[in-house]
A = this chain, B = another copy of it.
Amino acid sequence: MTFSFTGFTARGGLTDHHVDGWGVAFYEDVACRLFIDEKPACQSPMADFLKRYPFKSRNVIAHIRKATQGAARLENCHPFMRELRGQQWVFAHNGDLKGLPLPDCGPYAPLGTTDSELAFCVIMNSLYTSVDSQAQEPDDLFNVIEQLTRTLNRYGIFNFLLSNGDVQFAYCSSRLSYVLRDWPFTSAHLIDADWTVDFGALATPADRTAVIATTPLTDEKWVSCQPGDLLMFCDGQLRRQAHVPVPLEVLAMSKYAPSEASGLASTSSR
């Protein structure tokens, strides 16, 4: 977590231009710590504290923000977090949705003014009404998320990461990559900082990690997702995959706004 976070936060103003805030959520079993800040990640004392503090987590979602909608304010920083029936849900978005209506019922509504938090509230209100409290199985959740993605991706670019602490969903609307690390581990060098870690020396055969990010964080062999790929990771493995086509008009938008987007990164580990 410290390794990936160091490379990732460098993109918050140092090696890239995502200067409108940042955030990271990490699950510790059922609880989730959320740190958000409206300052650029490379200047944030809190990001600096986190780089030095050895939190351990099997499930992390991080975000560096390049604002499209909503000012650089705390309530507009990703990831967003909501509790539903005893589970913390965390969401981060890279893209730009236009014309999504405010929820007219359900418990969840945005604090801030981003399209992203609004989309998350739509997802959470749907999960509240459509997923029975007794049936929060990963495959049931996948089916609901797949339907919601089909509805929401019509509003614009919608790359996202979503987790309930157990599984992690990732959708590629325009750009997303991942790498799977498994035994025997090799070493990896950060693209955004001069730091190499030999995972072979640190990890055991029981370890396994998936790292998902807008663009690769290391010099390892990353898998480049296709627009429309919806992935579900669990315990460091890719567990299920579906294709939710990106509407043609949204694909066209992506071509003109690739470098304007925010950055997403997450890890799922066993």
Q: Report A's interface with B, CB cutoff 8 A.
A: 28-31, 33-34, 36, 45-46, 49, 53, 73-75, 82-88, 107-112, 128
Contact = CB atoms under 8 A, between A and B. Distances in A.
B111 A75 contact: no
13 contacts: A31-B112, A45-B53, A46-B53, A83-B83, A83-B108, A83-B109, A84-B107, A84-B108, A85-B107, A85-B108, A86-B110, A88-B111, A107-B108
Which residue of A29, A34, A85, A86 has the most chain B CB atoms within 10 A of its CB atom? A86
Could you say how many copies of this chain the assembly holds? 2
B86 A111 contact: yes
Contact of A111 (B31, B34, B111, B112): B31
Contacts of A87: 111
Contact of A29 (B28, B29, B30, B75): B75
Given A49-B49, A53-B45, A53-B46, A30 B75 contact: yes
Given A111-B86, A128-B107, A73 B29 contact: yes
A36 B36 contact: no
Contacts of A36: 31, 33
B128 A74 contact: no
Nearest to A88: B111
B31 A73 contact: yes
A87 B86 CA distance: 19
A196 B17 CA distance: 43
Nearest to A27: B74
A45 B55 CA distance: 11
A29 B108 CA distance: 18
Contact of A28 (B31, B45, B74, B110): B74
Contacts of A111: 30-31, 83, 86-88
Contacts of A75: 29-31
